[in-house]
């Protein structure tokens, strides 16, 4: 294998990429706007939820309940009638509708247990789940404070002091931004290498390479380093300018250590992209294979949900996937500031899995060229 051949073939791949506007737009979008929108639109965060209130009691306690809902969790409540409640929810105008019944204040002072009806539009699943708990706590606190005639905390025998490390404000956008960078590294590396190989076959340039004094190893390594370099530079740009600069998400650890892990991840996923491209006969077939492979890898790697919440057999199977170890490494470095002494097992696992995928893809690539 000659380094000059690998370098020149890699430059050819970069020129082909820069002449493809669709892939260039995908790269720019994945490492800029997609990260920003993922950070600002995390579904777990309750923000400006619409709520309407039916005040049939017209009492001091019902007025306290109405004034307890305010931004940023809820929009200012809209006072409606009983007849409007169902129709507004059918039209999707309200996510929550609270009905304070008549004589609620009288029954409360009489020591009875009056009920308040809360209707929730469960089609808005994330807001419905989170907002329902918020509303229950708000109403309960307001009623208790009114009955007890003072605003204060109840006395409990044990006090729990909560310390939230690495994300003191529990800001979901921090997690969304970095998780999207991790996902984009895996997705773009597979797409770019696979598309590069299929593009050569569709344009007929693969036959030109076969008559040149280059080996399959040189062709494959050239695609790996060129496409991997593009994704590596784009991920570094996203971390520095989008995550830290625009979103103001603090990076706890070394970006250089993260990029070392990303390089090993790219070594594995670009090899996987070449293998998928040799199996697929065309770009549409490659896209279908990508869906079958990429979605399980992303869903079960720990990027979206913790691995601990998955069945043990799934956790063990996913240890064979490179992005499982990359997610562990990236979260440890970027969130918790871990160093090399902590993440070296993940680096070693990525190197071993990447080497196996490279050898497997090279064998398939040689058969593909014959």
Q: For residue 19, count CB atoms less than 10 angstroms from its CB and return exposed for 0-12, middle for 13-18, buried for 19 or more.
A: exposed
- What does the pLDDT read at residue 132? 87
Which position has the higher pLDDT, 313 or 169? 313
C-alpha distances (whole Å) from 187 to each of 92, 119, 165, 243, 270 are 35, 40, 30, 18, 10
Report, as an integer, the average pLDDT of 182-195: 91
pLDDT at residue 268 greater than cutoff 90: yes
- What does the pLDDT read at residue 46? 75
pLDDT in tens, 297-336: 888 888 777 788 888 898 889 989 999 999 999 989 988 8
Percent of the chain whose pLDDT exceeds 70:
95
| Nearest in space to 270 (alpha carbons), one of 358, 190, 352, 167 | 190
Report, as an integer, the average pLDDT of 229-238: 94
Which position has the higher pLDDT, 108 or 351? 351
Query: pLDDT-based confidence at 283, cuts 50/70/90?
Result: confident
The answer to whether the beta carbons of residues 96 and 118 sit under 8 Å apart is yes
pLDDT at residue 150 greater than cutoff 70: no
| CB-side neighbour CA atoms (13 Å) of 23 | 23
The answer to whether the beta carbons of residues 228 and 267 sit under 8 Å apart is yes
pLDDT in tens, 87-133: 888 888 888 999 999 998 898 888 888 889 999 988 877 778 788 88
Query: pLDDT-based confidence at 155, cuts 50/70/90?
Result: low
The answer to whether the beta carbons of residues 258 and 239 sit under 8 Å apart is yes
Q: What does R_g of the chain's alpha carbons equal in angstroms?
A: 28
Percent of the chain whose pLDDT exceeds 90:
31
Query: pLDDT-based confidence at 352, cuts 50/70/90?
Result: very high
Query: pLDDT-based confidence at 53, cuts 50/70/90?
Result: very high
Residue 10 parent element (H or E): helix 3-18
The answer to whether the beta carbons of residues 119 and 99 sit under 8 Å apart is yes
The three-state DSSP-derived secondary structure of 72-112 is: CCECCCEECCHHHHHHHHHCCCCCEEEEECCCHHHHHHCCC
Which CATH architecture best describes the domain 51-148? 3-Layer(aba) Sandwich (3.40)
Q: How far apart are CA 174 and CA 250, in angstroms?
A: 8
| CB-side neighbour CA atoms (13 Å) of 95 | 21
pTM: 0.76
pLDDT in tens, 65-95: 999 998 888 889 999 998 898 888 888 888 8
DSSP code for 249: P
pLDDT at residue 154 greater than cutoff 60: no
- What does the pLDDT read at residue 344? 94
Give residue 354's Cα distance to chain centre: 24
- What does the pLDDT read at residue 45? 64
pLDDT at residue 359 greater than cutoff 90: yes
DSSP letter for each residue of 107-144: HHHTT-----EEEE-TTSHHHHHHHHHHHHHHHHHHHH
The answer to whether the beta carbons of residues 346 and 328 sit under 8 Å apart is yes
Question: pLDDT averaged over the chain?
Answer: 86
- What does the pLDDT read at residue 227? 92
| CB-side neighbour CA atoms (13 Å) of 105 | 12
Q: How far apart are CA 143 and CA 259, in angstroms?
A: 53
Going from N- to C-terminal start, the domains of the chain cover 3-41+169-369, 51-148
- What does the pLDDT read at residue 54? 92
The answer to whether the beta carbons of residues 354 and 268 sit under 8 Å apart is yes
Report, as an integer, the average pLDDT of 213-230: 89
- What does the pLDDT read at residue 151? 59
C-alpha distances (whole Å) from 204 to each of 54, 197, 286 are 70, 11, 18
Give residue 275's Cα distance to chain centre: 26
């Amino acid at each position: 294998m000659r380094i000059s051949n690998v370098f020149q073939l890699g430059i050819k791949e970069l020129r082909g990429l820069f002449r493809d506007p669709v892939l260039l737009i995908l790269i720019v979008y994945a490492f800029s706007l997609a990260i920003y929108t993922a950070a600002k639109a995390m579904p777990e965060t309750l923000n400006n939820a619409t709520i309407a209130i039916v005040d049939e009691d017209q009492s001091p306690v019902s007025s306290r309940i109405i004034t307890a809902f305010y931004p940023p969790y809820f929009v200012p409540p809209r006072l409606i009638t009983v007849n409007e409640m169902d129709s507004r929810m059918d039209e999707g105008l309200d996510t929550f509708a609270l009905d304070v019944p008549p004589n609620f204040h009288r029954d409360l002072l009489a020591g009875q247990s009056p009920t308040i009806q809360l209707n929730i539009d469960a089609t808005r699943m994330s807001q419905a789940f989170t907002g329902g708990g918020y509303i229950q706590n708000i109403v309960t606190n307001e009623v208790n404070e009114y009955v007890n005639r003072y605003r204060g905390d109840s006395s409990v025998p044990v006090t729990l002091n909560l310390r939230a490390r690495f994300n003191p404000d529990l800001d979901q956008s921090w997690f969304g931004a970095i998780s999207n960078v991790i996902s984009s590294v895996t997705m773009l590396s597979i797409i770019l290498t696979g598309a590069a190989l299929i593009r050569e076959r569709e344009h007929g340039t693969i036959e030109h390479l076969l008559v040149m004094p280059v080996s399959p190893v040189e062709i494959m390594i050239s695609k790996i380093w060129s496409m991997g370099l593009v994704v590596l530079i784009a991920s570094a740009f996203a971390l520095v300018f989008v995550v830290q600069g625009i979103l103001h998400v603090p990076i706890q650890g070394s970006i250089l250590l993260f990029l070392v892990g990303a390089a090993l991840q790219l070594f594995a996923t670009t090899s996987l992209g070449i293998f998928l491209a040799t199996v697929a006969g065309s770009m549409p077939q490659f896209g279908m294979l990508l869906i079958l492979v990429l979605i399980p890898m992303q869903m079960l790697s720990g990027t979206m949900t913790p691995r601990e919440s998955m069945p043990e057999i799934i956790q063990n199977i996913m240890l064979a996937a490179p992005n499982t170890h990359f997610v562990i490494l990236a979260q440890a470095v970027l969130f918790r500031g871990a160093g090399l002494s902590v993440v070296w097992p993940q680096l070693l696992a990525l190197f071993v899995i990447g080497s196996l995928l490279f050898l497997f893809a090279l064998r398939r690539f040689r058969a593909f060229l014959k």
